[in-house]
Amino acid sequence: MLFESTRGASPVVDFEAALLGGLAPDGGLYMPDRWPELNSADTADDYAATAINVMWPYVAGSIDADVFADICTDAYATFRHPAVVPLVQIDEQQWLLELFHGPTLAFKDVALQLVGRLFDHVLERRGERITIVGATSGDTGSAAIDGVRHCHNVDIIILYPEGRTSEVQRRQMTTVEADHVHTVAIDGTFDDCQDLVKAMFADRDFRERMNLSAVNSINWARVMAQVVYYVTTSRALGGPTSFCVPTGNFGNVLAGWIARRMGADIHRFHIASNSNDILARFVQDRDMSALDVVATLSPSMDIQVSSNFERLLFEMNGRDGEHTAAQMAAFRSEGRLDVSAAQHAEWIAPVFTAGRVSDADTLDEIARVHADCGLLIDPHTATGTRVARANGGDGPVVTLATAHPAKFPDAVERATGVRPALPDGLADLYERPERIRAMAADLALVQDFVASVSRVGR
């Protein structure tokens, strides 16, 4: 299996290079050159074993089978639930897939526990070091840090917007005691953090000197890891299954689309947006135009540019990278992505529905689910169950529960009067000492800091 760029102007690479590179040199995203078909023999009783089978066609040739099996087994052993991602029925045709039993309480652990270990293995074998820089609104940073906390060949620097993450999110990042883990509170917004990271990557000399790498959701290996739970879940329900996905970046729902493309029995995807509704406007009205980001109760979906959509666009374009690159360039300069009515009718309308959920409705939904089922759900999950109820109605719908309620306790308490408790093992999070480093949103300052902590080339 080889990987090609969605912009068609980079050489094809193997899995290892796609993993370490993240973004292709032409600015595109890596896509496998074909879609392997699932077969029923892929199913095993435990999650890790199915994960090995489903992902194997993508990594074969780059990583030894035994090594890959061990990496998957170790990654999913960090989850607190024996089923790894348990499925919970909440109504006759409604389920929740609890993706938050990993170390940092959000679904990103499913991918990043695996990706951190893959990085470590590949770097160790090559005798290389990398410097990971990333921007986070909260969940990616904590999950990425936990994913690489035992990697000796990685220095990781995570930028987060000061005062805009939840306290649990911040503490999960600032209380990790490891010499190769660094967090920086940036005086600015998430977009400012993201811009600083992009600028560091755009500085070619700096990028090469630091051997920079990324763990944001454009990394193919993250998407690949997320395909697995769509496969296990649609098989567990044993018939055409729809999924409702709280998403901003389109990453999680894209993974579902790939599972369907590989042959999983999936009917439709319902996309749940908060007030940052670029995806909902696109699905409903073919309007993909970026507006200003507004802060909501579901901050991990406060995104106006859904980077992973480029991968579906590439497929919609018959894998024409040049055309995809031109569309993305126009999106960057005009703020609006032009997809034809015919393409929308063929690719989007039959497979996707979408809904937008305000903060008031999010709180109302958390309260409703608590009253009806006695379950506490987090605000991201609540946008999902809300849209699943509104748009479902043709068979079973599984809403992806993307975060543990205790990761966003203020919103949950506001809605229900109940403050969700942190699970065992994290109960002392509020007592652990924090290491906080604050910095202005200034590229030169941040680059100096990265250069001072990176061990690459030493």
Ligand X SMILES: *Cc1c(COP(=O)(O)O)cnc(C)c1O
Backbone angles phi, psi at 138, to 5 degrees: 145, -60
Residues that bind ligand X (CB under 6 A): 106, 108, 139, 217, 246-249, 251-252, 300-301, 380, 402-403
77, with CB counted inside 10 A (0-12, 13-18, 19+), is exposed
| Active-site annotation holder among 7, 108, 117, 182 | 108
Closer residue to ligand X in complex, CB, 99/212: 99
- Kindly state the smallest distance separating residue 143's Cβ from ligand X, in Å: 8
Q: Are 170 and 160 in contact (CB under 8 A)?
A: yes
Closer residue to ligand X in complex, CB, 16/139: 139
Scored b (16 or more CB within 10 A) or e, 57-76 reads bbbeebbeeeebbebbeebb
Closer residue to ligand X in complex, CB, 104/241: 104
Backbone angles phi, psi at 147, to 5 degrees: -65, -30
- Kindly state the smallest distance separating residue 400's Cβ from ligand X, in Å: 8
Closer residue to ligand X in complex, CB, 63/271: 271
- Kindly state the smallest distance separating residue 90's Cβ from ligand X, in Å: 18
- Kindly state the smallest distance separating residue 101's Cβ from ligand X, in Å: 13
- Kindly state the smallest distance separating residue 454's Cβ from ligand X, in Å: 26
How far is 105 from 139, CA to CA, in rounded Å?
9
- Is 108 catalytic? The answer is yes
How far is 257 from 261, CA to CA, in rounded Å?
6
- Three-state secondary structure readout of 48-72: HHHHHHHHHHHHCCCCCHHHHHHHH
| Distance from the first to the final alpha carbon of the chain | 35
Per DSSP, the residues of 172-234 read HHHT---TTEEEEEEES-HHHHHHHHHHHHH-HHHHHHHTEE--STTSHHHHHHHHHHHHHHH
Closer residue to ligand X in complex, CB, 8/147: 147
Cα 176 to its chain centre, rounded Å, is: 21
- Kindly state the smallest distance separating residue 251's Cβ from ligand X, in Å: 3
Q: Which residues pair with 155 in a beta bridge?
A: 131
Closer residue to ligand X in complex, CB, 73/304: 304
33, with CB counted inside 10 A (0-12, 13-18, 19+), is exposed
The residues carrying an active-site annotation are 108
